[in-house]
Structure 1
Amino acid sequence: MEIKNVSIFFVSASLALSLISIAALQAHAATTDADASDSVTSKQEMKAQKKAESKARRAKKNAELSKLEKNGYNPAGNQSNYPQNLQNAQQKATGQKPTNAPAVAP
């Protein structure tokens, strides 16, 4: 009878330990899933932030180029006087009078 009581005790103890370990594993899995979803969210946020920064840089570049084109610079045009043409357009854009007019090629 004493062996039966001891075996019932060990079976009960092992069952209790199993239930505790299952609960602990479920809690760990929930934590791991939350961490995984946080990393996905942070990756998505980082990607969106990079995209927004890239868009802002592109918009700034296009605005600067448009301003220069309105003041006489043509990036697709004759580039024989490239630095001077660009500098003249920059000076016009800031409201200054261009210092050196580009040489006119025959």
Structure 2
Amino acid sequence: MPIARQISALLVAASLGSGTVTPTFAQDDASGAANAAVPGGASSAKPTKAERKQARKEARAKKNAELKKLEAAGYQPGRANDQNYPQDLQNAQKKAGIGQGASQ
């Protein structure tokens, strides 16, 4: 927005008695100053896309390794309508030495 337009907007707002008006260029500077006060800007608390991707890869690798251990211990996840499903999984977890945290 050109400065002449901003000044005219301020004058109109002042003549209407709308109270305190902060010009748009001052608002931009204030938000920039607020972000500058935080190291790395406002998004420093969020992990980056690369960090999220790496975390997903690590989680997937951990899950696949655990599943391979369970399959080696006798668990067969592909059997449809398995009557002994929970017990078979628990037995394979005990045999493989894997905790039951997520399955219970």
Instruction: Name the TM-score class by shorter chain.
Output: 0.3 to 0.5
TM-score under structure 1 length normalisation: 0.46
**TM-score, normalising length: structure 2:** 0.47
The structure whose residues are more often helix, as a share, is: 1
